[in-house]
């Protein structure tokens, strides 16, 4: 059995202010942009992972040795792209209270 006083009621759509609605739209658009940016680096990273695997298999035969420099060059390019994307999304330092809560939960050192 649940305590009825502990339940929360969400505000009606008419009670949401236009500013709060605009903030929600902005956050949603920001989240979609971050998702698209992550997908833009995840797909090339998956292709590089497959390429490195192919090069490793071909290296067993002896042919892949010639392809190692190209695989490493492509790997570095994708890693640099991901680093650049993460630098743009840098939220700044983690607040002290959040860090302390993460340590209490065992999520961070």
For the chain, give the DSSP string.
---GGG---PPPGGGS-HHHHHHHHHHHHHHHHHHHHHHHHHHHHHHHHHHHHHHHHHHHHTSGGGGHHHHHHHHHHHHHHHHHHHHHT---SPPHHHHHHHHHHTS--
Return the pLDDT at 93: 67
Residue with tokens 């995840």: 42
Reported pTM: 0.58
Look at residue 7 and tell me if it is in a domain.
no
Return the pLDDT at 10: 59
Note down the domain range covering 58.
40-91
Q: Is the pLDDT of residue 35 over 60?
A: yes
Q: Is the pLDDT of residue 72 over 80?
A: yes
Report the mean per-residue pLDDT for the chain. 79
Look at residue 86 and tell me if it is in a domain.
yes
Return the higher-pLDDT residue of 9 and 37: 37
Look at residue 50 and tell me if it is in a domain.
yes
Look at residue 29 and tell me if it is in a domain.
no
Return the pLDDT at 73: 96
Look at residue 109 and tell me if it is in a domain.
no
Count: domains in the chain: 1
């Amino acid at each position: 059995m649940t305590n009825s006083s502990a339940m929360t009621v969400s505000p009606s759509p008419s009670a949401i202010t236009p500013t709060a609605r605009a903030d929600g739209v902005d956050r949603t658009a920001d989240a979609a942009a971050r998702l698209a940016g992550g997908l833009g680096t995840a797909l090339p990273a998956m292709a590089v992972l497959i390429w490195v695997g192919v090069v490793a298999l071909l290296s067993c035969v002896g042919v892949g040795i010639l392809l190692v420099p190209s695989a490493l060059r492509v790997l570095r390019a994708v890693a640099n792209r991901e680093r650049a994307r993460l630098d743009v999304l840098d939220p700044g330092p983690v607040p002290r209270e959040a860090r302390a809560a993460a340590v209490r939960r065992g999520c961070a050192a």
